[in-house]
Amino acid sequence: EPEVTQTPSHQVTQMGQEVILRCVPISNHLYFYWYRQILGQKVEFLVSFYNNEISEKSEIFDDQFSVERPDGSNFTLKIRSTKLEDSAMYFCASSLAVSSTDTQYFGPGTRLTVL
């Protein structure tokens, strides 16, 4: 069964450093998403991406964040200058379409720890 994969599984970085989280969505999916989950809290939407551009972003997704689909398979989330409060699990998701009933499939997540 196809699945969303993410690397690395755990990333430790110093405050102020740049990090890139990587995702490989399901191959025939067209819509891509990033979510985050701070420890013990609910999963929060960050951004959605379609046709090589951001279709929607939340207030969390400020200028420090960016997304990119550098090739036909990868989807990345970059945090330019990490802050302590960026420590969280980051989940990538993908869906075939964006209709209201189209299922988003989630990857296993990357745990980001900012020291």
Q: Which residues bind other proteins (CB under 8 A)?
A: 4, 31, 33, 35, 41-45, 48, 55-56, 58, 91, 93, 95, 98, 100-101, 103-109
Residues 15 and 84: their CA atoms lie apart, in Å, by 6
CB of 20 to other proteins, least distance (A): 19
DSSP 24: E
Question: Any idea which residue has 């990868």 for tokens?
Answer: 74
Residues 16 and 13: their CA atoms lie apart, in Å, by 9
Residue closer to other proteins by CB (options 20, 57) is: 57
Residue closer to other proteins by CB (options 82, 90) is: 90
Residues 112 and 103: their CA atoms lie apart, in Å, by 26
Residue closer to other proteins by CB (options 18, 106) is: 106
